Amino acid sequence: MQAGQPIGDRQREILTAIVETFIATGEPVGSRTLSRASREGLSPATIRNVMADLADAGFLDQPHTSAGRVPSTEAYRYYVEQLTGKARLSQEDETMIQDSLQGASDVQEFMERTSHVLSLVSHNVGVTVAMGGLKNALEHVYFSRLGDQKVLAVVVTRSGLVRDRVLRLDLAQADLDMAARFINENFRGWTMEAMRSELERRLQQERSEYDRLMSSLEQLYRQGALAADDSAQTVFVEGASNLVAGEQDRQRLQELLKTLEEKKKIVDLLGAYLDVKQEAVRVVIGLDQALPSMRNFVLIGAPARVGDEVRGSLAVIGPTRIDYQNTMTAVSYIARLFDKILNESE
């Protein structure tokens, strides 16, 4: 069996058994262990031959001089692809999640609770990113013409945050005043994300009705006058202490903990791997392309939506020996619960 060849039923069964045994024990898996658990009563010699084929195909590694084998990154990826998605959370976990999240009144509160719940369910690190919130709600905007093809856009949020930027635009001050008045009268108290979404809709539907106003608004919008700031994203990380027991390399552990403390890196990590258009939970094995300190770590995450609007993201970060099926099921369940609870509160 060479790399790239399809896996047969027996090879798939043995590979699955190796992955699940290694996840449970953390010890290299030998043929005798698998033989004792084999439903077909396969002999150790038969299993050794299959393991040799799987190793040739890149699915198994042999650490040091151990007689046992451990799954490779490719083995974990194959294993995740085979999971059916039919698994259910235990009644205990489901009740705990519902009790912990019920009554959350906004995105920030839900995400703060979720990071804690995910760390408890997975015994790893729960990470959530909340977009918007009251601190990102609009108080007022102001536009001023600075000269030829230059406009100063000032956005003030209800928390007192002031953001300004200079845009390359050629609009008369009267048009800028009209655009600012329209935004202030119609969108005060809206989050920046919700306001931009509604403006996009109105630009498509009402252009002919408010031709001059909409033309000015479109130019301001396209040039980023109402762009969100990274500060509008709040990051919650829970369960970093769960890594301490499983990571023996102290220097690597320090690097991991430092990475988890740097909120921008967490935002970038989830942004790099979680597509807001995805519907299902995504599993990413090996995060070193985004963060070298996350080599041999796994991200299991999903975007959090209310209706069609993405309000944040949630994920579990842990070593490759994570309980994939239970964690994927928990992330999926909480993402659905987010939509349900936040829809009810709004």
Per-domain residue ranges of the chain: 9-82, 91-132+231-345, 135-227
Amino acid identity of residue 189, one-letter, is G
Q: What's the start-to-end Cα distance of the chain, in Å?
A: 56
Note the pTM of the prediction, 2 decimals. Answer: 0.70
Burial 182-191 (b: 16+ CB within 10 A, else e): bbeeebeebb
Contact 38, 47 (CB under 8 A): yes
42: number of Cβ within 10 Å: 18
Token digits of residue 162: 């002031």
Token digits of residue 43: 């002999």
31-56 pLDDT, tens digit each = 998 998 887 788 989 999 999 999 99
**What is the rounded average pLDDT for all residues in the chain?**
83
Q: Note whether 9-82 and 91-132+231-345 share their fold.
A: no
What whole-number distance in Å separates Cα of residue 12 and Cα of residue 8? Answer: 6
Pick the CATH number of 135-227 from 3.30.110, 3.30.160, 3.30.390, 3.90.220: 3.30.390
What whole-number distance in Å separates Cα of residue 171 and Cα of residue 144? Answer: 9
170-193 pLDDT, tens digit each = 888 999 999 999 999 998 888 777
Instruction: Indicate the CATH number for domain 9-82.
Output: 1.10.10.10
260-283 pLDDT, tens digit each = 878 778 888 888 888 766 777 999
Per-residue confidence (pLDDT) for residue 1, from 0 to 100: 56
Domain spanning 91-132+231-345: CATH 3.30.1490.100 = no
What whole-number distance in Å separates Cα of residue 101 and Cα of residue 334? Answer: 9
- Compute φ and ψ for 257, nearest 5 degrees: -65, -40
Query: Is residue 159 helix, strand or coil?
Result: coil
- Binned at pLDDT 50, 70 and 90, residue 91 comes out as very high
- Binned at pLDDT 50, 70 and 90, residue 7 comes out as confident
Contact 57, 69 (CB under 8 A): no
